[in-house]
Amino acid sequence: MQTKVSYLSDLKFNLDTWRRELRFHFNEMDTFEEKLEEIAAREFDKRAMLQIEQFQNRIEIERNEISKLMHRCKNKLNNLHVVDLNESIDGRLLFEQKPLKDDMRQYIKLHYDLKEEMMNFFSEWL
């Protein structure tokens, strides 16, 4: 029983950590969008404006992905609150956790790729 409680605590820790990271990234997108608007207001050439529009589209896509992942994390947390402590540790909860973990890993990679591209853009145009 103690092993199961520890296991559930570990799952909750992962979900809480992911939710904090997702909230941070969501807020970070606001900051990046403000900076893009600042650059757009300076009326740089067409190339800059095209990149700004592409980044704004990617920010919106990222926000949607963040919302979906946050919702999935919330659902997983809700599942932990109604877990059957007699259920096998290697059962449903572990099976359900893996796709979210893989999706979080992929999201984080894509987020930092976008962030690096945006930082390069900012250093070019600011």
Q: Each residue of 90-117: pLDDT tens digit?
A: 555 556 667 899 999 999 999 999 999 9
Q: Does residue 15 contact residue 77 with C-beta atoms inside 8 Å? A: yes
At 56, the pLDDT band (50, 70, 90 cuts) reads very high
d(CA 39, CA 50): 12
pTM of the model: 0.83
Interval 45-57 mean pLDDT = 93
d(CA 18, CA 38): 30
End-to-end CA distance of the chain: 57
Give the pLDDT of residue 46.
87
